[in-house]
Amino acid sequence: MLSLHFIRHGQTEFSRENLFCGTIDPPLTSLGRAMADSIAESYANMKWQAIYTSTLQRTIATAAPLAQRVGIAIRKEPALGEIAYGEWEGKSQEEIAARFPAQFQRWIDDPASHGTPGGETAFQVAARALPVIDRIREEHADGNVLVVSHKATIRIIVCALLGMPLGRFRDRVACPTASLTTFEFGERGGMLVRLGDVSHLA
C-alpha cells in the first residue's frame, strides 16, 4: 500500500502575515526552519521511497533536513507550486476586499472557476498538480512518499482525491503551516487517514 504524505512548507513572512503568496518565493523564517527540523526529527525513522517538492525555496528548505537525514535526493516538480494569485500577490485579503469588493466576493464564492486577476483557478491547479500525483502512484506502488507543497495546492489535491467540489477547498480543508496530511492508496483509491496534523511541531 502506498502512503502519500503531504506537508505544507514551514513559516515564511508571508504566511505569518497571511498575505497572498503564490509565485513569490520568500525564504523560511527562523521559526519555519525550526519547523523543518521538527519534521526531520519526527519522521527520519520512517522508510521513505521518495521526496518531492515544488521548485520554490520554501518547500525545498522544508524538505531538506529530512532528505539529508534519510539520504534521499529531493525531486523538484514545478507543477506542485502554489496557486498563482496574479495581481493580488503580496497583498492581504483585507486590502483586496476593501479595494476590489466585487472581484474579491466573486473569488470567495467560486475559486474553482474564478481566479484572481492574472492568477489561477483551482481547476487550473488541479490540471497541473494531479498528473504529478498520478505519476507518483505509478512509480511507487507501496511505501512512504513525501510531497512538500503549498496550502492551496494541497487543499485542492485533497478535494480532488476525495471527490469533493474543488471550489470548496478554502472552507472545507484545513492546512496549517508545516502540517501533515496523509492518504493511503488501496484497491479502491485513496483514503484520507490524517489531515492537517501538527503534532510533530515542538
155: part of which helix (H) or strand (E)?
helix 151-162
Pick the catalytic residue from 13, 41, 77, 82: 82
Give the up-direction half-sphere exposure of residue 90: CA atoms within 13 A in the CB hemisphere.
4
Cell numbers found for residue 57: 525555496
Q: How far apart are CA 162 and CA 88, in angstroms?
A: 29
Measure Cα distances from 79 to 4, 67, 103, 108, 180 in Å.
17, 20, 26, 24, 20
User: Active site residue: 5, 9, 77, 120, which one?
Assistant: 9
Residue 165 near residue 112 (C-beta atoms within 8 A)? yes
Instruction: Name the grid cell of 78.
Output: 514545478
| 8 Å CB contact between 59 and 148 | yes
Strands in 103-187 per DSSP E? 143-149, 180-186
Largest CA distance in the chain: 50
Active site residue 82: yes
Do residues 113 and 123 make contact, with C-beta atoms less than 8 angstroms apart?
yes
Active site amino acids: 9, 82
